[in-house]
Amino acid sequence: MKSTSRNIFIVLAVVTLVLDIAYVNIDDELVEVTETENQTSDEEIDVDEVVVDQTEDEIEIIEDPYGNIKEVNVSDYLDHLNEVRDVRTSWGSDINVYLYENDILVSGGEASGRLIHNDFKIVDYDVFMTESKLTYTVTSDNGSSLIYVYDYTKDLLTHFHESDKSIDDLVWTYNDQLLVLIENDLYTYNLLDETYEILEKSNDNVQFIQLQANYDGYIDVWVRVWEEDTFYDVNTYMKKDDLIIDDWYKDGIKYHKTELVDSFDEFINGYGYEVIVNNEDVSIYRLNYDVIGIEVNGQKKILDAYSQSTELSPDKKRLSLVTGEQDAWGAMYIYDIESGSMTKAVDSNAFGAPKEAIWIDDNRLLLIYGYPHGHFSIGGSVYEYNILNNEKRLVVSSEDNQELFNLIKKNDYIQISSRTHDESFNHANINSFLVDENYEKVEDDPSILSDQWLGFNDEDETWKYFNIYDVKHDRHLISSMDAYLPSESPASTFNILLALIALEEGVITLEDSFIEWDKKEYSDEHWNKDQTLETAFRNSVVWYFEALANAIGMEKLLSHLDQVNYTYYNPIDLNESTPINKFWINRNLHISGSEQVIFLSKLYTNKLHFNIEHVQFIRNLMVIESRENYVLSGISSVNDGWQNSEVGWFIGHIISDEYEFTFSTMIEGDYVNVEQLEVYARDMLRELDLID
């Protein structure tokens, strides 16, 4: 074996039949072993080995000249979260694995855990949760790569291997086999006989750059394809059963190279449209749930990766895209605008996935990464990701049954919201706090919602959703879990925006908003008469607002929708040729509770482009209760939903000298009425001590 500055030998006891962990203090007992002669594993790669003698009745002795393993107090290490690079939380067991620069901490839910220390930085690691093993690789100062395998149930270092060539990445395939990435080539490595077998070699145009085991029997192999001076990244799904590369895919869709395009129209195919960024330098659009379009200097290009979280860097040179939607698995990409190349920065695996990201400067992002509580969670802990060295480190950790979400930059601070659930995930406390530039907590807000029921109610067979936005503190807080927040037709809640557009376009005025009754008989007697904006608004008179829409025209309506950024809409279903009759009711337009409260917050903080006099008039129409200590405003609607269900909205605003909130209530069931909506909303507001 190659000489080193020190020679430490580790004695690890064989596990007993009841699998008790035998902790050994390496400072008290050292066992000397003899060095084996160098052996060559095959013709491809020369390696040096350390023999592992294993018998059932004897102590296993493995020589590790580069580090040691010892028992530590877990809390001593978890107090220094800013040093953690990664954490993987197991499902169905209490094992958590924390990666530091030179150490791996294995915690089993007890006060003590095992710290694996190496003299050199750990390059990569992978956890084989079903077999209770982890493997990791480091690079020594002489350039050799070292592979370790640790069984954390038996507390045994079971394999150690040294290679002269650089091992850049590795994942488990089976219990005794790893897939390794060596200088951009793919090999399998057999742990039992310590032999390599090449699977795929790179070439001048194609390089294998990263491996990632996923949760359903596949390994993601990321491939970088070069074309002259630029490149693009794609991935293939390699089955663990046969380890054969199939077609190339990107975000689960069979990859096809996308050239510059003349128009985005052909990529808009039925899901949604949103303007994300629109300025002189770069414009970014969400064309549907699969495609992001970017326009730079008049040239249009397609980024065919769905992005739940998309943000432009402060210097406008890069774009971050977090793929995946809510409880879907995704990755984070960095798109370089100048070179036109997009690379995968952070991938997902069985232990977590990127969920949301914001830039904190030109080279660093904050990323919510994790999936700690199954399909109920939209996020986990917060990491800092550095695009210069492609490393992420843990900076804010989530607690038991807690989800972190909604990153917001506020001057010199970052605001983070959290939800802490009970064991059944039927109740949650919602909170938000600030962290400084060192990611230390500097402020903790009181709980916004406590002990609130979420989701389906067995008693009346309804789904109920409540969403609230703290206007004064710019906090978006929700009681229902994001995975269960659907989008539905806005129905009569759209009358707010429709009325403002009609006033702005001069179709009606504050002095003259009269429209004669069309003489059709309606079941609601309030509709069977002439109307003004005030009477039609208070009674949700559909024919009146239908007349306004026809007078405005679809082109101008869509222009205002884009300016307001009201919600997603599909330009194929909603365009100048679309019948304008009730498109806000007949499911051509959808909005979520989150989007409702954001729109209302703009309405009440004068952030819409409409005449302020018109805005104030609509706000006055919405007042339903004025008390000495608060003013409550709102508008309601009930509309047909899917499969003969009914969907009701009650959205509004409440303000006092001390607070200001916008809120959205949605109920879905076989029968929904306005009274039911208002009662539920008042119950929630009363729980917050916002109303009497």
- Of the listed ranges 484-493, 595-604, 653-662, the least confidently predicted one is 484-493
The tokens describing 399, both together, are 């607690």
Is residue 371 a contact partner of residue 352, using CB atoms and an 8 Å limit?
yes
Is residue 309 a contact partner of residue 315, using CB atoms and an 8 Å limit?
no
pLDDT in tens, 505-521: 999 999 999 999 989 99
Cα distances (angstroms) measured from residue 683 to each of 449, 493, 659:
12, 21, 18
Partners of 312 in beta bridges: 319
Write down the domain spans for the chain: 9-165, 259-303, 314-447, 487-687
Residue 215 banded pLDDT, cuts 50, 70, 90: low
Is residue 65 a contact partner of residue 6, using CB atoms and an 8 Å limit?
yes
Helices (H) and strands (E) in the chain, counts: 8, 47
Cα distances (angstroms) measured from residue 39 to each of 35, 200, 237, 567:
12, 25, 34, 65
Q: What angle, rounded to 10 degrees, do the helices at 495-504 and 554-564 form?
A: 110
pLDDT in tens, 31-61: 222 233 333 333 333 333 333 344 434 444 5
Is residue 404 a contact partner of residue 368, using CB atoms and an 8 Å limit?
yes
Residue 569 banded pLDDT, cuts 50, 70, 90: confident
Residue 604 banded pLDDT, cuts 50, 70, 90: very high
- Of the listed ranges 241-245, 523-527, 616-620, the least confidently predicted one is 241-245
Alpha carbon distance, N-terminus to C-terminus of the chain = 78
Q: How far is the C-alpha of 223 from the C-alpha of 204, rounded, in Å?
A: 12
The tokens describing 656, both together, are 């006092």
pLDDT in tens, 167-191: 989 999 888 899 999 988 999 999 8
Residue 641 banded pLDDT, cuts 50, 70, 90: low
pLDDT at 428: 64
pLDDT over threshold 90, residue 626: yes
Q: What is the mean pLDDT of residues 199-205?
A: 85
Q: How far is the C-alpha of 240 from the C-alpha of 238, rounded, in Å?
A: 6
Phi and psi at residue 239, in whole multiples of 5°?
Answer: -70, 135
- Of the listed ranges 213-217, 280-284, 353-357, 553-557, the least confidently predicted one is 213-217
Q: How far is the C-alpha of 415 from the C-alpha of 34, rounded, in Å?
A: 56
Identify which has the larger pLDDT, 650 or 443: 650
Of all residues in the chain, the percent with pLDDT exceeding 90 is 25
3-state SS string over 514-528? CECCCCCCCCCHHHC
The radius of gyration computed from the CA coordinates of the chain, to the nearest angstrom, equals 30
pLDDT in tens, 292-351: 888 888 888 887 556 677 888 999 889 898 876 544 567 888 888 887 777 778 877 666
Q: What is the mean pLDDT of residues 187-210?
A: 88
Residue 255 banded pLDDT, cuts 50, 70, 90: very low
Q: What angle, rounded to 10 degrees, do the helices at 593-604 and 495-504 form?
A: 40
Beta-carbon contacts of residue 76 (< 8 Å; ≥ 6 apart)? none
pLDDT over threshold 90, residue 227: no
Helix (H) or strand (E) holding 556: helix 554-564
pLDDT at 249: 46
Q: How far is the C-alpha of 472 from the C-alpha of 605, rounded, in Å?
A: 10
Q: What is the mean pLDDT of residues 511-534?
A: 94
Q: How far is the C-alpha of 549 from the C-alpha of 562, rounded, in Å?
A: 16
pLDDT at 36: 30
Strands (DSSP E) contained in 167-290 are: 167-174, 177-182, 185-190, 195-200, 206-213, 218-227, 230-239, 245-250, 253-254, 260-261, 274-278, 282-286
pLDDT at 2: 28
Of 531, 466, 461, 446, which is closest to residue 495 (Cα–Cα)?
531
pTM above 0.75, yes or no: no
Tell me what the pLDDT averaged over the chain comes to. Answer: 77
Residue 572 banded pLDDT, cuts 50, 70, 90: low
Identify which has the larger pLDDT, 481 or 128: 128
Q: How far is the C-alpha of 157 from the C-alpha of 150, rounded, in Å?
A: 4
Q: How far is the C-alpha of 271 from the C-alpha of 288, rounded, in Å?
A: 5
- Active site residues per annotation: 492
pLDDT at 378: 57
CATH label, 487-687, candidates 3.30.1490.20, 3.40.50.10190, 3.30.1950.10, 3.40.710.10: 3.40.710.10
Ramachandran class of 184: left when φ > 0, alpha when ψ lies in -120 to 50, beta otherwise:
left
Of all residues in the chain, the percent with pLDDT exceeding 70 is 75
The SS3 of residue 55 is coil
State in words which class domain 314-447 has. Answer: mainly beta
